[in-house]
Amino acid sequence: MMRVSRSAMTAWRSILQQTPNRQSFEHRLRAIGAERYHDKHPFHVMLHGGECSLTQVRAWVINRFYYQSRIPMKDAAFMSRSDNPDLRRAWRRRIEDHDGGIEEGGGIRRWLKLAEAVGLDPDYVASTKGVLAGTRFAVDAYLHFVREKPMLEAVASSLTEMFAPKIHSDRIAGLLKHYAFADDRALAYFRQRLNEAPEEVAFGLGYVLDHADTLEKQDAAASALTFKTDVLWSQLDTLYSAYVTPGRIPPGGWDGHEAVVAFSPDDDLPKGQRL
Ligand SMILES: O=C(O)c1cc(C(=O)O)c2c(n1)C(=O)C(=O)c1cc(C(=O)O)[nH]c1-2
């Protein structure tokens, strides 16, 4: 029988440990979403289950706009750091998705259609006045992360999008079922994301799996994705604290009345708590 020395065994074990397995790494990334993605946040459970008052829906639309508005800024920041034309070419459609062309607009304009549908002045929403400080802090942290961290981590932080199609489908179904304002025009943002996100995810995931070629890099990428789940969760925590129980709106936050321009059919419904 061939004898293997203890030192050879140790060397072999360490080689095995340092050789990252692509499949198990992808599994590890997906497990982060299964455990921490914001579909599980109580605010989303309320929103999709028809438990939010219209005021709470409006607060969400106002605050979430801040995230929308910063996404193309973070993508532009990302592109500005890359000297690789192939990477920039693949990435630039993200900016087009959100900004669109002059005539048709993109995701930002579609979000403002949602703002109109819930009876808010879209100019107010676009101004980002009334956005909670906690929302700004969380979203700005994402922007800084993508500006400053290694490219691998910057791409990995976008991978929460792997979990977004399910939340967008659940949201379309939930809003249509429970809220009179919800129609195709109001929900166009989410339907369009269902078309856009899969290609972005395929590219981002491929990039991360290719470039995380050591255990150390895999750990860094997993931490980046975890950080991003925190960014998303924190936005909903601050919203919940301000507009759900006990409804403590901090200084500077939308007061529940400003910029409400149109009576929405949902104003009539005796749903949940109203501010
Ligand atoms: O509705 C959602 O829950 C949700 C989540 C996320 C996400 O997981 O970051 C994005 C979006 N929507 C989205 O619409 C979007 O365009 C988007 C871009 C990104 C990103 O990090 O680059 N995330 C998301």
pLDDT in tens, 93-149: 999 999 999 999 999 999 999 999 999 999 999 999 999 999 999 999 999 999 999
Q: Which two tokens stand for residue 29?
A: 């990334």
Q: Which helix (H) or strand (E) holds 99?
A: helix 85-99
Residue nearest to atom 20 of ligand 1 (CA): 158
Please check whether residue 159 is in contact with residue 228, taking contact to mean a CB–CB distance below 8 angstroms: yes
Predicted complex: ipTM over 0.90: yes
* pLDDT of 220 over the 80 cut: yes
**How much is the pLDDT for 262?**
72
Q: Is the dihedral of CA 39, 60, 160, 224 positive or negative?
A: negative
For residue 213, pLDDT beyond 90: yes
Burial category of 103 from C-beta neighbours within 10 Å (exposed 0-12, middle 13-18, buried 19 and up) = exposed
Q: What is the mean pLDDT of the chain?
A: 92
Query: Would you state the structure tokens that stand for residue 65, as one six-digit string?
Result: 């706009």
Q: How many CB atoms lie within 10 A of CB 20?
A: 17
Separation CA 43–CA 33 (nearest Å): 17
**Of 35, 45, 51, nearest to 171 (Cα)?**
45
Buried b (16+ CB within 10 A) or exposed e, 221-231: bbebbbbbbbb
pLDDT of residue 245: 82
User: Which protein residue has the closest C-alpha to ligand 1 atom 17?
Assistant: 161
Asked whether 193 lines ligand 1 (CB < 6 A), one says yes
d(CA 4, ligand 1 centre) in Å = 52
- Say what the pLDDT of residue 274 is: 38
Average pLDDT, integer, range 212-228 = 98
Report residue 105: phi and psi, to 5°: 65, -175
Q: Do 29 and 159 meet the contact criterion of CB atoms below 8 Å apart?
A: yes
pTM of this structure = 0.90
Q: At 219, which amino acid appears? A: D
Task: Give the model's confidence band at 18: pLDDT under 50 very low, under 70 low, under 90 confident, else very high.
Answer: low
Mutate to test the pocket of ligand 1, among 160, 163, 166, 200 (most ligand atoms within 8 A of CB): 160
pLDDT in tens, 46-65: 999 999 999 999 999 999 99
Give percent above pLDDT 90 in the chain. Answer: 87
What is the distance, to the nearest Å, from the Cα of residue 161 to the centroid of all Cα atoms in its chain? 7
Q: Which residue minimizes the CA distance to atom 14 of ligand 1?
A: 193
- Written as one letter, the residue type at 136 is R
Top mutation candidate among 96, 149, 161 for ligand 1, by most atoms within 8 Å of CB: 161
Q: Is the CB of 160 under 6 A from ligand 1?
A: yes
Q: Is 68 in the pocket of ligand 1 (CB under 6 A)?
A: no
Instruction: Answer whether 167 contacts ligand 1 (Cβ < 6 A).
Output: yes
Other CB atoms within 10 Å distance of the CB of residue 93: 14
Mutate to test the pocket of ligand 1, among 71, 207, 234 (most ligand atoms within 8 A of CB): 71
- Residues 175 and 163: their CA atoms lie apart, in Å, by 19
Return the exposure string of 21-56: e unless at least 16 CB atoms fall within 10 Å of the residue's CB, then b.
eeeebeebbeebbeebbbbebebbebbbeebbbbbb
Per-residue pLDDT reduced to its tens digit, 152-168: 999 999 999 999 999 99
Residue 86 has pLDDT above 50, yes or no: yes
Q: How far apart are CA 275 and CA 273, in angstroms?
A: 7
Measured distance CA(142)–CA(113) in Å, rounded: 25
Encoded tokens for 71: 């996404």
C-beta atoms surrounding 136 within 10 Å: 17
